[in-house]
Amino acid sequence: MSSPLLQSDCPALKLIARGKVRDLYEVDATSLLFVATDRVSAFDVVMKNGIPDKGKILTQLSVFWFGLLADVLPSHLITADIDAMPPSVQQYRGQLAGRSLLVRKLTILPIEAIVRGYITGSGWAEYQRKGTVSDIPLPAGLQQCQALATPLFTPSTKAEIGQHDENIHPDKVKEMIGAELTDKVAATAIALYQKAASYARERGIIIVDTKFEFGIDAQGQLTIADEVLTPDSSRFWPLDAYAVGREQESFDKQFVRNYLLDNNFDKQTSVALPDHVIRDTLSKYIDVYTRLTGQQPEL
Ligand code: ATP
Ligand code: MG
């Protein structure tokens, strides 16, 4: 395994933010450099070590989806090709190549646009308690991991660093960004999910749920931001192992979460993951990339 890039270091560029996984730099007045490091977070806590090349896999998978989904909604992507980026960026090619996007600077909407096609995770927990998901009532008698009759838009807040996102009813979003934009975001998020989910299903992968972020561009157009439909922002299940009424095997950070849970780590603790957890997670990420795109990632 190569060594993971835990943090980018590009002193000639203006660092705007380090998220849990990404480092964001300002390139000029209208564009940003969006760098996916190899950091891994679980339960909203960043682990001590990273997963080598994970940032490259996430970046290249997002680029694939931006292309496939462009007829539903344009994305913030300008280029993923380091040779097409300004010289101020190219000087850091050793760190950045394959894991960086030049993107249009957007005004990001203050919500996470989650779409769920199946009932699992926090949605299943809420449904068992209250018969709802994000306070949206669902029919009685749903089983764990059952497909919903239609995909559901279940937005959440975008939490500050160290906080957890909170599910909110779509009406709450209307109070934040207005009814018209909320309806457009909901319909677009569902259309994006449906197109991606039917594509993935033909390749043996169920896209269970996913999180989109949207922004408004300089022309006032709704635009896809952030990463899309990666194993960090989505749940993927192998279709051939799917059965309703129980937990599913998955392609995402299951190995990381299971390791933390099995060893009774406090959910707030950042730990060093053992080699086998890193290797297993990396091979899942490569596996899902290859199944979805039909190609190997460039690592
Ligand atoms: P997580 O995704 O795990 O919740 P995070 O929110 O801390 O982590 P990262 O994914 O590490 O964030 O960093 C990406 C940040 O960049 C997010 O805050 C996202 O809203 C923001 N962002 C994404 N695309 C754009 C864009 N085109 N213009 C401005 N900001 C953007
Ligand atoms: Mg993010």
Q: Are residues 114 and 228 in the same domain?
A: yes
Q: Are residues 100 and 117 in the same domain?
A: no
Could you tell me the distance, in angstroms and rounded to a whole number, from the CA of residue 22 to the centre of ligand 1?
7
Task: Answer yes or no: is 3 within a domain.
Answer: no
The pLDDT of 228-241, averaged and rounded, is: 95
Categorize the per-residue pLDDT at 44 as very low, low, confident or very high, splitting at 50, 70 and 90. Answer: confident
Q: Are residues 121 and 96 in the same domain?
A: no
Task: Answer yes or no: is 137 within a domain.
Answer: yes
Average pLDDT, rounded, for the chain: 95
**Of 105, 133, 160, at which residue does a domain stop?**
105
Instruction: Using the predicted structure, report yes or no on whether residue 183 has a pLDDT greater than 70.
Output: yes
Q: Are residues 69 and 173 in the same domain?
A: no
Ligand 1 neighbours (beta carbon < 6 A): 19-22, 24, 32, 41, 76, 103-106, 108, 213, 215, 225-226
The pLDDT of 46-51, averaged and rounded, is: 95
Could you tell me the distance, in angstroms and rounded to a whole number, from the CA of residue 245 to the centre of ligand 2?
30
pLDDT computed for residue 166 by the predictor: 85
Q: Is the ipTM of this complex over 0.90?
A: yes
User: From atom 15 of ligand 1, which residue's Cα is the shortest distance away?
Assistant: 19
Instruction: Using the predicted structure, report yes or no on whether residue 164 has a pLDDT greater than 80.
Output: no
**Of 54, 74, 105, at which residue does a domain stop?**
105
Task: Answer yes or no: is 146 within a domain.
Answer: yes
Question: What digits encode the pLDDT tens for the residues 77-118?
Answer: 999 999 999 999 999 999 999 999 999 999 999 999 999 999
User: From atom 22 of ligand 1, which residue's Cα is the shortest distance away?
Assistant: 226
Task: Answer yes or no: is 276 within a domain.
Answer: no
Task: Answer yes or no: is 275 within a domain.
Answer: no
Q: Are residues 151 and 63 in the same domain?
A: no
Ligand nearest to the Cα of 35, by number? 1
Domain span at residue 219 reads: 108-253
- d(Cα 138, Cα 144) in Å, to the nearest integer? 13
Q: Are residues 226 and 177 in the same domain?
A: yes
Q: Are residues 21 and 126 in the same domain?
A: no
| Residue of 20, 62, 157, 228 to test ligand 1 pocket, by largest number of atoms within 8 Å of CB | 20
pLDDT computed for residue 199 by the predictor: 98
Q: Are residues 98 and 127 in the same domain?
A: no
Atom of ligand 1 nearest to the CA of 21: 11
Instruction: Using the predicted structure, report yes or no on whether residue 160 has a pLDDT greater than 80.
Output: no
Question: What digits encode the pLDDT tens for the residues 266-289?
Answer: 777 899 999 999 999 999 999 999
The pLDDT of 205-226, averaged and rounded, is: 97
Ligand nearest to the Cα of 164, by number? 1
Task: Report residue 243: phi and psi, to 5°.
Answer: -150, 140
Three-state SS string across the chain, please?
CCCCCCCCCCCCCEEEEECCCEEEEECCCCEEEEEECCCCEECCEECCCCCCCHHHHHHHHHHHHHHHHCCCCCECEEECCHHHCCHHHHCCHHHHCCCEEEEECCEECCEEEEEEEECCHHHHHHHHHHCEECCEECCCCCCCCCEEEEEEECCEECCCCCCCCCECCHHHHHHHHCHHHHHHHHHHHHHHHHHHHHHHHHCCEEEEEEEEEEEECCCCCEEEECCCCCCCCEEEEEHHHCCCCCCCCCCCCHHHHHHHHHCCCCCCCCCCCCHHHHHHHHHHHHHHHHHHHCCCCCC
pLDDT computed for residue 252 by the predictor: 76
Q: Are residues 152 and 193 in the same domain?
A: yes
- d(Cα 222, Cα 186) in Å, to the nearest integer? 12
CATH number of the CATH domain containing 227: 3.30.470.20
pLDDT computed for residue 125 by the predictor: 94
User: From atom 19 of ligand 1, which residue's Cα is the shortest distance away?
Assistant: 226
**Of 237, 253, 269, at which residue does a domain stop?**
253
CATH number of the CATH domain containing 54: 3.30.200.20
Q: Are residues 209 and 194 in the same domain?
A: yes
Atom of ligand 1 nearest to the CA of 232: 3
Task: Answer yes or no: is 117 within a domain.
Answer: yes
Q: Are residues 119 and 229 in the same domain?
A: yes
Instruction: Using the predicted structure, report yes or no on whether residue 161 has a pLDDT greater than 70.
Output: no
Atom of ligand 1 nearest to the CA of 211: 2
Confirm if 298 and 75 have CB atoms less than 8 A apart.
no
Categorize the per-residue pLDDT at 1 as very low, low, confident or very high, splitting at 50, 70 and 90. Answer: confident
Task: Answer yes or no: is 258 within a domain.
Answer: no
pLDDT computed for residue 253 by the predictor: 81
Task: Answer yes or no: is 223 within a domain.
Answer: yes
Share of the chain above pLDDT 90, in %: 86
Q: Are residues 120 and 242 in the same domain?
A: yes
Categorize the per-residue pLDDT at 265 as very low, low, confident or very high, splitting at 50, 70 and 90. Answer: confident
Count of structural domains within the chain: 2
Could you tell me the distance, in angstroms and rounded to a whole number, from the CA of residue 178 to the centre of ligand 2?
24
* Chain centre distance of CA 88: 28
What's the residue count for the chain?
A: 299
